């Protein structure tokens, strides 16, 4: 891992974010629909739908970050190699931030779509529980003493197991879907390119943050040793 990796990824992420924001707010179409009588459908979100590009993209990388944390935690428990633990810790720290973005943007979207900030439907509730597990991981790493790394690894694995359940918990009357039948690949041509660029943007941002946290964690260990 070179010292240039973090600034390079950070600069690339900044460029991608600038391009993504331009496409989201100035190029991607507004979301609206018409009734059979030619009147505007009351469920149209218009400008509020723009939050979709950030909400779903962050959700993708939240799940990825939790998966990376869980897999590297398993590797750490098997080998006791602290380098695996460094990756798990860094990925979880980033997952906490991404999870907060998902919950906040999801609440804003819910207010626009349903006129409520929160309704405790299955995916929202499970997403909140996952985020609390991640926050618990961070607290355990800080305050649980000598066994903190092993306890936190178990929490990371527990969080990873919950991700498939959250991903599949979309009801037709409870949570908005992305694209036809909830498949983002079926988005319209005016939305698909912008959406996947947002996903790629936060992919780069995820790598920049994880690399930064890994470097910091390993520097702290060298100081302690």
- Position 45 scores a pLDDT of 62
CA dist., res. 157 & res. 162, Å (int): 9
Mean pLDDT by 10 residues, the chain (225 residues): 77 90 80 51 61 86 93 93 91 94 87 77 85 93 82 91 77 48 55 85 91 86 78
CB burial of 36-73 (b: ≥16 within 10 Å; e: otherwise) equals eeeeeeeeebeeebbbbbbbbbbbbbbbbbbbbbbbbb
Of 177, 209, 178, 170, which Cα lies nearest the Cα of 195?
A: 178
- Only one residue has tokens 């890994």, namely 214
- Position 219 scores a pLDDT of 82
Asked whether 101 and 80 are in contact (CB, 8 A), the reply is no
- Position 95 scores a pLDDT of 94
Beta-carbon contacts of residue 212 (< 8 Å; ≥ 6 apart): 6, 10, 90
CA dist., res. 60 & res. 144, Å (int): 30
Residue-by-residue DSSP string for 90-111: HHHHHHHHHHHHHHHHHHHHHH
- Position 115 scores a pLDDT of 76
DSSP tag of 178: S
Average pLDDT, the chain: 81
Q: pLDDT of 53-85, one tens digit each?
A: 888 889 888 999 999 999 999 999 999 888 899
- Position 124 scores a pLDDT of 82
H and E: helices and strands count for the chain: 6, 0
Q: Name the percent of the chain lying above pLDDT 90.
A: 32
Pair of tokens at residue 138 = 């961070």
Distances (CA, A) of 78 to 85, 162, 168: 11, 21, 30
Q: Is 75 helix (H, G, I), strand (E, B) or coil?
A: helix
Q: What is the pTM of this model?
A: 0.81
Beta-carbon contacts of residue 144 (< 8 Å; ≥ 6 apart): 151, 152
Tally the residues of the chain. Answer: 225
- Position 71 scores a pLDDT of 95
- Position 70 scores a pLDDT of 94
């Amino acid at each position: 891992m070179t010292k240039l990796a973090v600034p390079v990824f950070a600069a690339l992420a900044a460029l991608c974010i600038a391009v993504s924001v331009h496409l989201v707010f100035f190029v991607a179409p507004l979301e609206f629909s018409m009734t059979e009588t030619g009147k505007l459908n009351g469920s149209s979100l218009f400008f509020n739908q723009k939050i979709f590009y950030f909400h779903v993209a962050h959700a993708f990388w939240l799940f990825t970050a939790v998966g990376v944390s869980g897999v590297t935690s398993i590797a750490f428990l098997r080998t006791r190699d602290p380098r695996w633990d460094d990756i798990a810790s860094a990925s979880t720290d980033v997952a906490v931030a991404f999870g907060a973005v998902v919950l906040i943007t999801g609440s804003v979207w819910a207010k626009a779509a349903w006129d409520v900030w929160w309704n405790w439907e299955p995916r929202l509730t499970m997403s909140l529980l996952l985020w609390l597990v991640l926050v618990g991981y961070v607290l355990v790493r800080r305050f649980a003493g000598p066994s903190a790394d092993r306890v936190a690894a178990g929490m990371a694995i527990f969080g990873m197991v919950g991700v498939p359940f959250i991903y599949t918990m979309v009801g037709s009357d409870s949570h908005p879907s992305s694209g036809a039948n909830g498949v983002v690949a079926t988005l319209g041509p005016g939305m698909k390119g912008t959406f996947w660029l947002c996903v790629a943007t936060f992919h780069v941002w995820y790598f920049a943050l994880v690399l930064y946290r890994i470097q910091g964690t390993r520097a702290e260990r060298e100081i302690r040793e």
